[in-house]
């Protein structure tokens, strides 16, 4: 549909017209006649109509102006406004900058990590998807970032540490572990602890050539047994706040993950008392024997 001006006698009328096909011909049908141009222009009714229609457009920003060549870009601001404040209150940016204090990156790694976290919270997807997505948003410090910066920021989080004291056979210590421990310590007080933790896992599959180091064929919770995958475990405290995450090769059985996670959890966060809550897919006879031997409560 489109708008046109129809001249009839000495007056001009604004009409909404629709094109439709009838056989091999295109026929124009007048959907509505808005009114006489001189009258609706004097009353500002055209501008009111444009404003009203613009509410139903998600992709076009209509700018009312006397200029016909006006151009404008529309960008969204709400995701960054909300998450930027949480990011600062949790002290995540400060921790990242401390870890980067002796590193010499030519781009803002902290901003790249924030951008990828924001993208995964609101849309989810690959770093390549994130690189396209952020162009429609106002996110402080993201304009100078390119796709390879996002790749390098993720590589920084996954860098293996020299000190592998609390590593598991299938989960070496890396930069993200230090971040998790620092975040836990930053919100810890005399009365905080991990008396009760919730643990669960899921699988994430790789498309294409991804997952060279950790991707393996295994039981797929996404119903894609044909693709290589990794297993991701998340530990939450009794307030529902994430404590840490673990990653394993895709052929790791759930029942083999709980004991190594508990051992790492107690060492990393200096936990003396703990109660583990998990589903029966995590529990085996050997796991229960270990928990009871170590005097660890479980549900």
Instruction: Let me know if residue 31 belongs to a domain.
Output: yes
Mean pLDDT of the chain, nearest integer:
80
Looking at residue 62, its pLDDT comes to 47
Query: What 8-state DSSP symbol labels residue 161?
Result: P
Instruction: Let me know if residue 162 belongs to a domain.
Output: no
Q: Are 65 and 112 in contact (CB under 8 A)?
A: no
CA dist., res. 17 & res. 93, Å (int):
55
Is the predicted pLDDT of residue 77 greater than 50, yes or no?
Answer: yes
Instruction: Let me know if residue 70 belongs to a domain.
Output: no
Q: What is the mean pLDDT of residues 176-193?
A: 77
Among candidate residues 157, 188, 212, the one where a domain is terminated: 157
Q: What is the mean pLDDT of residues 123-129?
A: 84
Q: Which of 19-23, 105-109, 142-146 has the lowest mean pLDDT?
A: 19-23
What band does 288 get if pLDDT is binned at 50, 70 and 90? confident
Domain that includes residue 214, residue range: 175-298
Specify the number of domains making up the chain: 3
Q: What is the mean pLDDT of residues 21-47?
A: 85
86-112 per-position pLDDT tens digit: 888 888 999 999 988 888 888 999 999
Instruction: Let me know if residue 211 belongs to a domain.
Output: yes
Instruction: Let me know if residue 27 belongs to a domain.
Output: yes
Please name which of 40, 18, 45, 14 lies closest in space to residue 31, comparing C-alpha atoms. 18
- Which of 36-40, 199-203, 210-214 has maximum average pLDDT? 36-40
Is the predicted pLDDT of residue 32 greater than 60, yes or no?
Answer: yes
- Residue 209 gets the label, from left (phi > 0), alpha (psi -120 to 50) or beta, of alpha
- E strand spans, 37-106: none
Residues 283 and 184 in one domain: yes
CA dist., res. 102 & res. 273, Å (int):
36
Is the predicted pLDDT of residue 46 greater than 90, yes or no?
Answer: no
Instruction: Let me know if residue 259 belongs to a domain.
Output: yes
Q: Which of 81-95, 152-166, 267-281 has the lowest mean pLDDT?
A: 267-281
Looking at residue 234, its pLDDT comes to 83
Residues 292 and 190 in one domain: yes
Instruction: Let me know if residue 165 belongs to a domain.
Output: no
pTM: 0.65
Looking at residue 104, its pLDDT comes to 86
Residues 232 and 135 in one domain: no
Between strands 242-249 and 25-36, the pairing is unpaired
Is the predicted pLDDT of residue 128 greater than 60, yes or no?
Answer: yes
CA dist., res. 61 & res. 128, Å (int):
26
What band does 61 get if pLDDT is binned at 50, 70 and 90? low
């Amino acid at each position: 549909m489109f708008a046109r001006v129809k001249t009839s006698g000495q007056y001009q009328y604004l009409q909404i017209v629709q094109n439709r096909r009838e056989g091999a011909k295109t026929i124009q049908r007048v959907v509505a006649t808005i009114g006489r141009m001189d009258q609706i222009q004097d009353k500002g009714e055209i501008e009111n109509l444009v404003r009203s229609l613009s509410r139903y457009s998600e992709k076009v920003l209509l700018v009312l102006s006397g200029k016909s060549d006006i151009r404008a870009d529309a960008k969204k601001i709400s995701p960054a406004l909300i998450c930027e404040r949480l990011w600062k209150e949790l002290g995540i940016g400060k921790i990242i900058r401390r870890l980067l204090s002796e590193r010499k990156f030519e781009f803002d790694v902290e901003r790249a990590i924030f951008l990828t976290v924001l993208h995964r919270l609101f849309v989810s997807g690959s770093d390549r998807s994130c690189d396209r997505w952020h162009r429609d948003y106002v996110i402080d410090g993201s304009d100078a970032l390119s796709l390879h910066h996002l790749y390098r920021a993720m590589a920084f989080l996954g860098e293996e540490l020299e000190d592998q004291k609390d590593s598991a056979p299938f989960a070496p210590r890396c930069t993200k572990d230090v971040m998790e421990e620092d975040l836990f310590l930053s919100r810890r007080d005399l009365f905080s602890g991990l008396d009760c933790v919730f643990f669960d896992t899921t699988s994430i599959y790789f498309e294409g050539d991804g997952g060279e180091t950790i991707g393996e064929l295994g039981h797929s919770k996404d119903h894609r047994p044909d693709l290589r995958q990794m297993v991701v475990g998340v530990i939450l405290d009794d307030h529902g706040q994430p404590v840490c995450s673990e990653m394993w090769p895709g052929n790791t059985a759930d029942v083999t993950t709980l004991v190594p996670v508990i051992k790492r959890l107690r060492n990393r966060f200096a936990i003396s008392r703990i109660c583990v809550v998990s589903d029966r897919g995590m529990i085996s006879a050997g796991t229960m024997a270990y928990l009871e031997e170590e005097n660890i409560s479980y549900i």
